């Protein structure tokens, strides 16, 4: 009976025939530029790239082993070349509000040109303005103004002195001012003589003194006004002279940039500011300039050598984004998506113990660099950095980048900073992350679906069709060239395809984890080099696979060792009632291995419940608990339709000290339960995997290859008896990609793989007894497993009824 379900060696491993390839090595293949096995994702990327509406940013979700970054970049690079190169972005000084730098948009490459032109302009003006002020005409006109003021002042004082003399009043200097006194005969009137004068005369003289004094006071107060008028005239003259030097070169530049009104506007502002602050240019040269009060504070403290630099800083633009060397739309990957790296930052300099800044210290972020193109960011990284996710969303929502200090929100840093004008944003952001992050964001962040409408869902595997196999070979050829590896022989390619199917856990599919495949190619090349092979052969690939396993399987080895030493109790021969060998998979990083576990069941009279001990002690996951509860449904439905289900059973994974999840052991648990109820011993030479539904159908599970190999390794270590084997779900047969040694043992009849579709099939293999089907009268055949189970449950039901009757 067992042989019906026994699989043939050919079914255990879906071999890739090297003969199907028409090449000897991959060197003969042209390679491939496209992306294989990701048609859905590629279509989504193309859609996301083309659609221009707001919110159609992309989220590429898939395993990290798929190399999503390179796939997305590859796809983008093929498209962006045809897209227009975005503009350059600059910040420039707002001369009226220097803490609010303004933004300038220029066609690509013109930003750098403008920067160079302003460098030259400032250099030219630093020479031309002082030269204009050194002209004789300027000095003559300035002297005229100065002389005019002096003459006016002197004339006023002369007039005052003259008037005082006429009034017989003398004016004399004291240490702190000026004093007035009446005179007599050319001398200051003697005080005694003054006192002898009639009172009326004294008053008259005093009135004269007061009058002259008032005139002087009025005069003294007028002088600053005259001085101010004089200074204004000099300023006007200075502007006139400066304009002579400045207007022409700026007009020339305006002509160069007349196609960009914003730039010509900037030049107009720049010209006006130079006229207002020409003193700075004079201080930067050897020209004598005495109107120091007009000089900007920032210039006065700087050494002359730095003054030209200070001037340049005032007028030079900060070229934030230079797309001069960019072809098409930029594709930017930000590896460290902090808030500052994404949205830009305003740096500060320490100066005399203070933190100072200026618009030249505005630094671009990745959004600036990607503006007009595409920004790739790892979702997990952006979520990990404080403020980064909120900052990114804010920029996408507002469609502009505002550079500020996130610390300001919490007043962490209190420094005078800038408020740069926001830059309009036109960028497609492509987040890359795991499906888990994608679904968490969908669930918990209401803004996320609005901003990232395009899901680029990457396939974990592809169909193993002849066409795809050929494409895979082409991809291997491309990768070997890109990585500079030896060519791979057709046998090596076939072995890689077989391994790819193993990675996909499916003999009919291939893995799309190209990062993993690329690692294997590199390592196979290494081993080929060690063996001095000109081309990488299948044995090199196998050596690489074995080495990978060897590096990772320390724990598997230890577990096996402990089982062999009898520390972990697993029987591989004999029979036991209520005890079966289950199989589980342990994953350590990228390596998984199968491990047999003893599952036992005990039954007794009860109220129709199957107790999952793992669940009771909170070591079982919800899926595992669900699997156990299904058993109750199966037992009740099949054996206790008309009677009270009076079973109480307990099931446990023996020697399990960590959590158990998954339902792949539910069939094994049921076998143990049936064995316990029927008191039919189970062969311990067999192990079982597969989940079960309420109708007793065995359903597929994951990790079938690892599970089989795990039990095989144990049996092999103890010595294969020819009785040992594993029962798997029929629906898992297509997934089989077993190790060569397992297949060889099966071929030699030393090990067996059974594929079953129902619990009845499985229990027959395990017990060697007939499961039994109900006949026309609804009875199971006598002595069959089902009959024994049903009879036991009936006895329990009767016992329970009797017990309850007595209790009442």
Partner 1 sequence: MSADMENEQYKNILVALDNSQHSTTALNIAAHTAVLMGMDLNGLYVEDSALLRLAELPCAREVRLPSAIDRQLDSATLAGELAIEAEKARKLFLARLQNMNLQGSFQVVRGKVSDEIVSAARQSALLCLGKAGRQLISSVRPGSTALALSESSPVPVMFIEHGASMPVAVMIFYDGSVTANNALYFAARWAQSESNNLTVIIPSDSPVRTLLIKQAAAEILRSVNVQARFSEIGDGDLSRLVNIVDKVRDPLAVVPAASRFLPPDTAAQLLSAANFPLLLFR
Q: Which residues are marked as active site?
A: 664, 707
Question: If 0-12 CB within 10 Å is exposed, 13-18 middle and 19+ buried, where does residue 67 land?
Answer: buried
Q: Which is nearer to partner 1, 157 or 526 (CB)?
A: 157
- Asked if residue 573 lies in contact with residue 684, where contact means CB atoms within 8 angstroms, the answer is yes
- Asked if residue 489 lies in contact with residue 688, where contact means CB atoms within 8 angstroms, the answer is no
Closest distance between partner 1 and the C-beta of residue 217, in Å? 5
The number of C-alpha atoms within 13 Å of 441 and in the hemisphere containing its C-beta is: 26
Closest distance between partner 1 and the C-beta of residue 191, in Å? 4
Q: What 8-state DSSP symbol labels residue 408?
A: G
d(Cα 143, Cα 149) in Å, to the nearest integer?
A: 10
- Asked if residue 403 lies in contact with residue 365, where contact means CB atoms within 8 angstroms, the answer is yes
Closest distance between partner 1 and the C-beta of residue 144, in Å? 15
Crossing angle of helices 136-166 and 199-256, in 10° steps, is 170
Please name the residue ranges forming H helices in 81-179: 110-133, 136-166
Q: Which is nearer to partner 1, 173 or 351 (CB)?
A: 173
- Cα distances (angstroms) measured from residue 370 to each of 77, 92, 377: 13, 21, 11
Q: Which is nearer to partner 1, 182 or 433 (CB)?
A: 182
Reading the block at residue 302, the tokens are: 């700087």
Reading the block at residue 735, the tokens are: 């997934």
- Reduced to 3 states (helix: H, G, I; strand: E, B; else coil), residue 776 is coil
- Asked if residue 237 lies in contact with residue 137, where contact means CB atoms within 8 angstroms, the answer is no
Q: Which is nearer to partner 1, 174 or 411 (CB)?
A: 174
Pairing relationship of beta strands 579-588 and 686-688 according to DSSP bridges: parallel
Q: Which is nearer to partner 1, 178 or 529 (CB)?
A: 178
Closest distance between partner 1 and the C-beta of residue 122, in Å? 36
- What are the strands, taking DSSP E only, across 175-260? 177-184, 187-188
d(Cα 526, Cα 519) in Å, to the nearest integer?
A: 11
- Asked if residue 727 lies in contact with residue 686, where contact means CB atoms within 8 angstroms, the answer is yes
- Asked if residue 513 lies in contact with residue 38, where contact means CB atoms within 8 angstroms, the answer is no
Closest distance between partner 1 and the C-beta of residue 149, in Å? 10
Q: Which is nearer to partner 1, 220 or 795 (CB)?
A: 220
Q: Which is nearer to partner 1, 144 or 190 (CB)?
A: 190
Closest distance between partner 1 and the C-beta of residue 135, in Å? 22
Closest distance between partner 1 and the C-beta of residue 230, in Å? 13
Q: Which is nearer to partner 1, 146 or 613 (CB)?
A: 146
d(Cα 754, Cα 729) in Å, to the nearest integer?
A: 8
Closest distance between partner 1 and the C-beta of residue 220, in Å? 4
CA nearest neighbour of 493 among 506, 512, 509, 480: 480
Q: Which is nearer to partner 1, 154 or 335 (CB)?
A: 154
Determine phi and psi for 376, rounding to 5 degrees.
-105, 130
Closest distance between partner 1 and the C-beta of residue 146, in Å? 10
- Asked if residue 121 lies in contact with residue 251, where contact means CB atoms within 8 angstroms, the answer is no
Q: List the strands of the sheet with 88-92, edge to edge.
A: 102-106, 88-92, 318-321
Number of CB atoms found within 10 A of residue 241's CB? 20
Q: Which is nearer to partner 1, 19 or 198 (CB)?
A: 198
Pairing relationship of beta strands 58-61 and 428-433 according to DSSP bridges: parallel
Closest distance between partner 1 and the C-beta of residue 194, in Å? 6
Interface contacts to partner 1, rule CB under 8 A:
150, 153-154, 157, 170, 172-182, 187-191, 194-195, 202, 205-206, 209-210, 213, 216-217, 220-221
CA nearest neighbour of 46 among 19, 69, 75: 75
């Amino acid at each position: 009976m067992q042989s019906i379900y026994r699989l043939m060696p050919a079914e255990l491993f879906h071999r890739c025939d090297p003969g199907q390839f028409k090449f000897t090595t991959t060197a003969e293949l042209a390679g491939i530029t496209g992306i294989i096995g990701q048609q859905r994702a590629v279509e989504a990327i193309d859609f996301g790239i083309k659609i221009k509406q707001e919110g159609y940013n992309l989220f590429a979700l898939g395993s990290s082993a798929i190399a999503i970054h390179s796939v997305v970049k590859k796809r983008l690079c093929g498209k962006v070349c045809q897209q227009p190169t975005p503009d350059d972005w600059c910040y420039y000084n707002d001369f009226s509000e220097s803490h609010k730098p303004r933004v300038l948009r220029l066609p690509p490459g013109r930003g750098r040109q403008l920067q160079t032109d302003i460098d030259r302009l400032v250099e030219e003006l630093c020479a031309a303005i002082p030269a204009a002020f050194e002209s004789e005409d300027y000095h003559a006109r300035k002297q005229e103004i100065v002389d005019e003021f002096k003459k006016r002042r002197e004339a006023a004082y002369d007039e005052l002195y003259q008037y005082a003399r006429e009034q017989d009043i003398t004016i004399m200097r004291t240490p702190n001012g000026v004093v007035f006194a009446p005179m007599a005969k050319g001398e200051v009137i003697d005080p005694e003589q003054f006192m002898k004068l009639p009172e009326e005369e004294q008053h008259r003289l005093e009135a004269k003194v007061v009058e002259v004094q008032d005139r002087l006071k009025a005069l003294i107060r007028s002088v600053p006004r005259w001085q101010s008028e004089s200074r204004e005239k000099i300023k006007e003259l200075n502007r006139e002279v400066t304009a002579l030097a400045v207007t022409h070169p700026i007009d020339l530049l305006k002509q160069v940039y007349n196609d960009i009104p914003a730039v010509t506007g900037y030049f107009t502002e720049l010209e006006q500011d130079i006229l207002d602050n020409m003193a700075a240019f004079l201080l930067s040269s050897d020209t004598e300039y005495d109107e120091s009060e007009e000089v900007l504070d920032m210039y006065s403290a700087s050494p002359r050598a730095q003054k030209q630099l200070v001037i340049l800083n005032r007028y030079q633009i900060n070229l934030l984004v230079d797309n001069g060397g960019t072809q098409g739309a930029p594709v930017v990957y930000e590896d460290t998506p902090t808030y500052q790296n994404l949205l830009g930052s305003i740096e500060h300099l320490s100066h005399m113990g203070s933190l100072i800044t200026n618009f030249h210290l505005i630094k671009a972020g990745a959004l600036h660099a990607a503006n007009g193109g595409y920004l790739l960011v790892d979702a997990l990284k952006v979520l990990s950095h404080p403020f980064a996710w909120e900052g990114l969303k804010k920029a996408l929502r507002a469609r502009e980048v505002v550079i500020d200090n996130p610390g300001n929100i919490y007043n962490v840093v209190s420094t005078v900073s800038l408020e740069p004008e926001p830059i309009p944003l036109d960028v497609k952001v492509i987040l890359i992350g795991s499906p888990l992050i994608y679904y968490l964001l969908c669930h918990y962040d209401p803004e996320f679906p609005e901003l990232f409408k395009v899901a680029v869902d990457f396939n974990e595997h592809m169909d193993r069709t002849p066409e795809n196999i050929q494409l895979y070979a082409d991809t291997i050829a491309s990768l070997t060239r890109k990585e500079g590896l030896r060519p791979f022989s057709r046998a090596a390619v076939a072995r890689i395809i077989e391994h790819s199917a193993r990675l996909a856990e499916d003999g009919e599919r291939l893995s799309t984890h190209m990062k993993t495949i690329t690692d294997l190619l590199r390592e196979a090349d290494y081993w080929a080099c060690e063996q001095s092979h000109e081309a990488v052969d299948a044995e090199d690939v196998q050596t690489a696979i074995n080495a990978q396993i060897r590096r990772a399987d320390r724990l598997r080895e230890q577990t096996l060792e402990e089982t062999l030493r009898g520390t972990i109790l697993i029987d591989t021969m004999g029979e036991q009632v209520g005890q079966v060998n289950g199989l589980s998979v342990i994953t350590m990083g990228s390596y998984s291995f199968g491990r047999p576990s003893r599952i036992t069941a005990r039954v007794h009279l009860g109220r129709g419940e199957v107790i999952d001990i793992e669940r009771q002690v909170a070591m079982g996951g919800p899926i595992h608990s669900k699997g156990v509860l299904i058993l109750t449904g199966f037992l009740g439905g099949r054996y206790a339709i008309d009677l009270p289900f009076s079973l109480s059973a307990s099931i446990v994974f023996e020697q399990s000290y960590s959590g158990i999840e998954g339902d792949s052991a539910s069939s094994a648990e049921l076998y143990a339960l049936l064995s316990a109820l029927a008191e039919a011993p189970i062969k311990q030479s067999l192990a079982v995997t597969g989940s079960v539904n309420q109708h007793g159908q065995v359903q597929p599970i994951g990790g079938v290859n690892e599970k089989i190999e795990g039990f095989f390794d144990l049996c092999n270590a103890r010595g294969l008896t020819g009785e040992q084997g594993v029962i798997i779900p029929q629906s898992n047969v297509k997934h089989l990609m077993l190790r060569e040694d397992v297949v060889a043992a099966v071929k030699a009849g030393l090990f067996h793989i059974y594929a079953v579709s129902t619990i009845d099939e499985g229990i027959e293999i395990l017990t060697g007894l007939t499961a039994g089907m109900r006949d026309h009268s609804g009875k199971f055949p006598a002595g069959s497993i089902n009959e024994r189970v049903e009879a036991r449950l009936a006895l329990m039901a009767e016992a329970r009824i009797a017990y309850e009757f007595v209790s009442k």
